[in-house]
Structure formats: structure tokens, C-alpha cells
Amino acid sequence: MKNMKLKYKGIFPLLVLLFAGCDDFQTSLEDLNKNPNAYEDVVPGYLFSNSQMVGVAYNFTNGADGQHFILAQAMQQFATHSEVRGTGDKYFNISMATSHWAVYNTALADNERVIQKVKDDPQSVNMLSAARIWKVYMFHIVTDVHGDVPYFEALKSIDGLIQPGYDRQEEIYADMLKELEESIAAFNPSLPTFGANDFFYGGDVNKWKKFGYSLMLRLGMRLTDARPDLAETWVKKAIQGGPILADDEIAMVRYLNGQVAHSRNPKADVLLIQDYQNPQAGVSNTQGGKYAKTFIDHLKSTGDPRLNVISVVWVNNPGGSGYVYDTSTVIQRGMQNGVLFGEPDDFNTYSEPHPNTVLSYASPVLTFTNAESYLLLAEAAIRGWNSGSAKTAYENAVRAGMRHWALFGEEGVIASEKIESYLKRNPFKEDGTFEEKLEQISTQKWVSLFLDNYEIFANWRRTDYPKLIPTNYPGNITGGTIPRRLIIPDSELELNTDNFNEALNRQNVGNLLTSIVWWDPKYPGR
């Protein structure tokens, strides 16, 4: 018995130690399942940086599909002889017109995690306000290209809501404008910001306010046909608040020509990868892309000096082997949209992007510019919503839009005398009709916002300027009309069936490239 007691006494402490160590043992197992390279907690600055980087890339590239194959072709700035990549050129290949939807699970999701992390901390109000404004920027693109979309219930998968309802675009717009107003008012210069994690402004609160008012101005003007009363109200609020007007207030992300892909301009990167990086420059472009005839003809006919900093033709090197690019105005020529039956014999003679400006890895992505703000002010003036001069605002827009190209490298610099010569040759139509002025302002926006395809597409639908002649390629899926919307992907029909169908039936516009969004003047019944 004595020995047994001794044995028992020896085992008991061991059992106690074992049971006491269960928590440590469980913790060790959990540690084994952790990704050592992942953050367990939300780090607002890092996530906001990533959201900005991914968000500005969606405005053009959006992964493998490349939005320039859709919207820049539809807006007749680019052209292609390819049928596969002809969604915007020949109105083919409907599957390519769905891809912006992925922003929900990437840039928007990251930004929402930031909002949820900082929303209850009074000291983080500046970070919250910037994230709310950035959310509006990304969401306004989603709803502009698709119409009714998940908004109020979107981004709540963390709460278990994986089938969000679709909201009316009118209600989405009302909330986005409210969000902008509240966010701008909440900024407090004495409190912390994102600092260097903010790629636009380095945490400058005053510049974020200007970005917010600029976006308010854009969204307000979007309502000119759908709700002219609200359009006037919000446009006047934005003007009074003060939009982006100076060059150093532009919302942009700068890039480097480095070895790391993420450090490169994503627009240049996708253009090079998908079309313009070939063994024989200018000859066998991967996806058959060139600049469009409509675009190049306009630049040439108006004597626009931007032609020579964005466009080249590759010619035989007169001093040796290979090819060199030539920016001479006389040889620039655009390819016709809707080219029939394959690559033209003279394909190599058409203009394409300048390798040291548009295709430069070190060029910036301009997200909102003073050129656009001034053009919006010019339109507000001709509508009687701005006491300032439409002519002055228009001329300031032209100057700013041409100065921007210096940000793209030395070969983008446009001399001031060339800018003034252009304005003298193309004066603002002060004595013209309202429509003549609106056409001039909107056509200038088409040129000044080059590479901002979503906004060009939205403004064209709202104003019907510039005047574009649609293609009617055999077998196209729009009946020979320019697309007015991008398609919501089939995954929604499979994964969010009831909400998708409810929205589709409610809108009665279909899920087609020819469907019409609420603010579009062509919306049924307007």
C-alpha cells in the first residue's frame, strides 16, 4: 500500500501539469495553422494603401481583361482588328464586359475593413473620412457602369451576409452624396491621418476635402437629366466648398520604373503586356490594337499638341536596323473602329501609344484632376449654376490638361506657347448655343481625361458628346449601337439569384450592353 501511495503521489502532479498545459498545447496547434506573413489584426494604413493601389488600377486594367478593350474602344480612342478583344470596337464578346465586379472583393473589401476598424475611434476621424470618400469613388464607378447594384448590404460577408440585396441607383446616389458631405465636414486637421500610407495626399486633410468636393461636383452633374433640381443643389454645394483647382491638388498615384511589378504604372503595364510589347514594334500587336481614327483625326484637325506627346508611328530606323518611333503630326493616323476581317495590310502605319509617356512604367495614374474640375465649372456656368466665367474655366481646363503630360516624363512637356496657340485656334464658343457650348466642353473632357475610361464613358452617356459614329460589324450583339452599360457577371445569377432577378425585373432594362442606367437621359420613360 505504501508503494502504491507513493506511485499515486508521483503520477498526480504529472497529471496536473498535463491538464494545466492543455491550453498551451492548444495554442501551439493554433500557432502551427497561422500564416506567419499575414496580419491577424487590421492595420488601417496598410489596407488603405492597398485599396488605393488596387482601386486606381481597376479604372483601366482590371486584371487580364483590360478595360481599354471595352470602354476606350467604345469611346473610339482605341481600335482593334481583333474579334476576341472587340467588345468595345465591334460590340462582341460579352463575357469581357463583366470584370469590374471583382472590385467588391478586393479594393472595396479592404477599404471596408479600414472603416470598420476606425469608425468608433474619435481620434481616427480623418482616416474614417478619407476611407468613406474613397469608398464613394469606387462605388460610383460600379453603379455607373452597372446601374442598380448591391450597396447598403454589400461588403457585409464578415457578418454572414453573402447574398446582398440590390439597391436602386437613385438611392445609391443620394447616399453617396450624403457620405461625401458628412465626411468632408468631419475632417479635423489636429488629429492623425494615414500619413505616408495615403498615396494621394500623404494625409493632407485640406486636399482630401478638395477631392471630396470634386467628386461631389462630378456626381451632382451626373444628375442633370435624372434630377436637375438635385443636380443644381449639389453642384452649388461643391463649388462653394472648393474643388481641385491647382496642379498640386490632383489626386494621383505616382509609380517607379522598377523591378517590382506593383511599383509600375498599372495602365502602362497592362497595355505593354497585352498589346504593345512585341519583338517588332508596331507590327504584330498581340491584341491588334492601335489608336482610333476618330481620336487621332480630332487631335490633328484641332492642332492639339497632345497628339505629339501621346502618339507615335513606328518607322524603319534610317540610321541602322530595327524600328524607331516618330511623333511627327503628318504621319499620325488612327485605325478605323470595326475593321472588317483581320489585320489591315498597312497595320504598321497606324498610331499607337508613346513608349515614354503613355507606356512609361514611371508615369502616374491621375484619379481626379483640375482639368476635370474646371470643365465641370464651365458646364455649371453655362447652366447658370456658377457665377464664374465659362470661358475662363474652359481655358483653365485646357491649360491644366496639357500641363498634366509633363508628369509623364520629359517627352510629355508641352510648351506654353503651344498651349496658347491651341486656345487661339480653338476659342471657347461664347456666342454659341447651349448645346454648342456643352459639346465643346464635353469633347474637351473626352481629350483631357484620356486614360480615365470610366469617366469618359459616363460623361458621353450623359451628354451624348463627343458625337461618335457606331460600328455595325457582322454578328455584333448590340444591334450596331455603342454599349451603354457593362454586364453584371453570371456568378450573380448563380450565387445571388433572387436578389439579382428582383433587380433585373424592377429595372426592366435587361442585363445587356445596351441596357440603360437610371441617370442616363435615355432611361425608359424619361
**Which amino acid, residue 293?**
K
Structure confidence by residue, pLDDT tens digits, 110-127: 999 999 999 999 999 999
Nearest alpha-carbon partner for 303 in 425, 414, 441, 468: 425
For 20-39, the pLDDT digits (tens) are 444 554 445 445 445 444 44
State the sign of the Cα–Cα–Cα–Cα dihedral 133, 138, 143, 148.
negative
What is the overall mean pLDDT for the chain?
89
Asked if the structure places residue 57 within a domain, the reply is yes
* Residue with the larger pLDDT of the pair 101 and 17: 101
Q: Provide mean pLDDT across the span 226-231.
A: 98
The size of the chain, in residues, is 526
Residue 375 domain flag: no
Q: Confidence band (pLDDT; 50, 70, 90) for 147?
A: very high
Would you put residue 197 in left (φ > 0), alpha (ψ -120 to 50) or beta? alpha
Q: Are strands 365-368 and 251-253 parallel, antiparallel or unpaired?
A: antiparallel
User: What are the start-end ranges of the E strands in 77-199?
Assistant: 78-80, 149-150, 166-167
Checking if the pLDDT of 59 tops 60, the result is no
- Inter-CA distances, 263 with 34, 109, 255, 356, 404, Å: 28, 22, 5, 17, 20
Query: What is the per-residue pLDDT for 280?
Result: 57
Query: Which region among 114-118, 180-184, 274-278 has the lowest average model confidence (pLDDT)?
Result: 274-278
Of 102-116, 243-257, 272-286, 445-459, which gets the smallest average pLDDT?
A: 272-286
Peptide bond into 466 cis (omega under 30): yes
* Distance spanning both ends of the chain, measured CA to CA: 99
Of 322, 353, 384, the one marking the end of a domain is 353
How far is residue 174's CA from residue 199's CA, in Å, rounded to a whole number? 28
Does residue 230 lie within any of the structural domains?
A: yes
Q: Which of 353, 368, 396 is the last residue of a domain?
A: 353
Neighbour-count burial for 374-394, b at 16+ CB within 10 Å, e otherwise? bbbbbbbbbbebbeeebbebb
**Is residue 211 located within the same domain as residue 281?**
no
Q: What is the CATH number of the domain that holds 137?
A: 1.25.40.390
Q: For residue 494, is it within any domain?
A: yes
- Give the pLDDT of residue 283: 67
Whether 501 shows a pLDDT value over 80: the answer reads yes
Position 295: which residue type? F
For residue 510, CA distances in Å to 225, 429, 506, 524 come to 21, 40, 10, 12
- Give the end of a domain, one of 353, 370, 398: 353
C-alpha cell read off for 398 = 485646357
Amino acid at 252: M
Burial grade of 19 (CB within 10 A; 0-12, 13-18, 19 or more): exposed
Q: Same domain, yes or no, for 342 and 280?
A: yes
Secondary structure letter of residue 365 according to DSSP: E
User: Which segment, 12-26, 55-69, 87-101, is predicted with the most confidence on average?
Assistant: 87-101
d(CA 217, CA 210): 10
366: β partners: 252
Q: Which of 10-24, 57-71, 416-430 has the highest mean pLDDT?
A: 416-430
According to the model, what pLDDT value does residue 158 have?
Answer: 73
24 located within any domain = no
- Mind listing the pLDDT tens digit for each residue in 387-413? 999 999 999 999 999 999 999 999 999
> pLDDT tens for residues 310-350?
999 999 887 777 789 999 999 999 999 998 878 898 999 99
Between helices 453-463 and 434-448, what is the axis angle to 10°?
A: 170
208 and 125 in a common domain = yes
Contact 340, 229 (CB under 8 A): no
Indicate if the pLDDT at residue 6 is higher than 50: no
How much is the average pLDDT of 246-260?
Answer: 93
Q: Which of 368, 372, 366, 430 is nearest to 397 (CA)?
A: 372
Domain range for 91: 43-243+472-526
Say how far apart CA 491 and CA 399 lie, in whole Å. Answer: 45
Express as a percent the part of the chain with pLDDT over 90.
Answer: 72
509 confidence band (pLDDT: 50, 70, 90)? confident
**Mean pLDDT confidence for 292-299:** 98
Does the structure show a pLDDT above 70 at 433? Answer: yes
Mark whether 61 and 197 lie in a shared domain: yes
Claim to verify: residue 63 and residue 164 sit in the same structural domain: yes
Are residues 113 and 187 located together in one domain of the fold? yes
Identify whether residues 126 and 185 lie together within a single domain: yes
**Cα 341 → chain centroid:** 32
Domain annotation covers residue 180: yes
Amino acid, res. 48: F
Q: Which residue has the cell 452617356?
A: 461
Same domain, 149 and 52: yes
pLDDT value, residue 125: 98
User: What is the reported pLDDT for 284?
Assistant: 66
Instruction: Give CA–CA dist 153/327, Å, rounded.
Output: 50
C-alpha 43, offset from chain centre: 25
CA-closest candidate to residue 223, choices 380, 71, 374: 380
Same domain, 67 and 207: yes
For residue range 201-222, list pLDDT tens digits in order.
999 999 999 999 999 999 999 9
CA distance 118 to 122: 8
- Residue 312, phi then psi, degrees to nearest 5: -140, 160
Residues 163 and 236 in one domain: yes
93 within a domain of the structure (yes/no): yes
Same-domain status, 110 and 227: yes
Any idea which residue has 450565387 for its cell? 495
Is 224 in contact with 464 (CB distance < 8 Å)? no
Is residue 416 assigned to a domain?
A: no
Do residues 76 and 121 make contact, with C-beta atoms less than 8 angstroms apart?
Answer: no
Structural domains in the chain (count): 2
Say what the pLDDT of residue 171 is. 98
**Residue 286 clears pLDDT 90, i.e. is over it:** no
The model's confidence at residue 67, banded by pLDDT at 50, 70 and 90, is: low
Residue 167: partners with Cβ closer than 8 Å, 6 or more residues away: 148, 149, 150, 151, 152, 153
Q: What pLDDT, on the 0 to 100 scale, is given for residue 282?
A: 64
- Mean pLDDT for the stretch of residues 438-463: 97
Residues 238 and 289 in one domain: no
Which pLDDT tens digit goes with each residue over 451-500? 999 999 999 999 999 999 999 999 999 999 999 999 898 889 899 999 99
